Structure 1
């Protein structure tokens, strides 16, 4: 077993994230606690994600402690998603990766899952989860590698939002300008 710990500060408002990523028996697991203020309300969100060795999400469990609300999703081959009762969520079909609104970590999933070529955009279908109310939907996001040296920079866009995302050599977010900055 190996473990990596990452810590981010939220730049836009007050907040932090502490994440442990473990590699055990050909499985990756992320466990995290995120504390932040949203519209003046303190929030605590915890999540667990289990992946296969290719960074494909298998299970997601997320809890908004402020609302005392949980969400549990699982994924099968080909981007089929299921709720905690085993019922398929057809509206998410085709999405491979997840994007949880309160964390930069989930931006690392497609970055680590795909092979990148500079300047070639990758259009992805993502399961977007709002940490504020645990609602979810499928959204289109586009990542384009624009700089690849010691660190890599991606241009990210989704709907009308665009931003660079800077990652380390292992594909983990160092900086998501004006939103998150990694401290360790």
Structure 2
């Protein structure tokens, strides 16, 4: 078992995330808190349970903002997803969740993107808007540019958005153009 703590800073707005990642032989768990000053300020806690191959099984998102407290739970149901216990037919075939406030979930498809430069992985996601606590189907693509470099292309809800990504040897984001950069904690 290995546990690590990662921090990401938002580069587009004022915000910071702390994520604790635990990798065990048969499962992966992550617990994070994101604090952001955007839209009047909010705090979002998210808890992930993944299988050993980095496929999300569940994610729980809890939000506190000026409108109050909210909670959303997404759970894999065969080839689809349940949102707060209800099966969502519109999410059938969506391969992974994509939570708007963190680059952590980009690691799931990044780890499955073929390693050859010029290779791509298109996929449908269950896109979670963290501040709004909504879930909608969206499409995206990851284009491999090199061993630790990819291009993210949104083909769905944010059609036209693209960003270069730099990742570490584990497929975890170091730099996400326009949005996030990993920062080391100070001693």
TM-score (norm 2): 0.90
State the distance in 2 between where 1:99 and 1:170 align: 18
- In the other structure, the counterpart of 1:157 is 153
The answer to whether the 8 Å contact 1:46/1:64 transfers is yes
Contact 2:9 2:17 (C-alpha < 8 Å) held by counterparts = yes
State the partner residue of 2:10. 10
- Taking the aligned partners of 1:172 and 1:147, their CA distance within structure 2 comes to 15
Structure 1 residue 83: deviation in Å?
Answer: 2.7
Quote the Cα distance in structure 1 between the aligned partners of 2:24 and 2:144: 30
Query: Within 1, Cα distance between the matches of 2:95 and 2:130?
Result: 19
Q: Distance in 2 between matches of 1:143 and 1:134?
A: 25
Aligned to 2:70: 69
Structure 1: unaligned runs, 5 residues or longer = none
- For 1:95, the equivalent position in structure 2 comes to 94
Match of 1:108, SS state, is helix
Q: Distance in 1 between matches of 2:49 and 2:112?
A: 14
**Root-mean-square deviation (Å):** 1.3
Conserved? CA contact 2:25–2:52, under 8 Å? no
Partner of 2:104: 105
Shift of 1:76: 3.1
Any conservation in 2 of the 1:55–1:113 contact (CA below 8 Å)? Answer: no
Pairwise CA distance, 1:105: 0.9
Partner secondary structure for residue 107 of structure 1: helix
**Are the aligned partners of 2:109 and 2:121 in contact in 1 as well (CA < 8 Å)?**
no
Q: How many residues align?
A: 178
Question: Aligned equivalents of 2:141 and 2:25: distance in 1?
Answer: 32
Alignment of 1:6-45 (within 5 A): 6-24=6-24, 26-39=26-39, 41-45=40-44
Deviation at 1:114, TM superposition (A): 4.3
Give the TM-score, by structure 1 length. 0.92
Cα displacement (A) at 1:96: 1.5
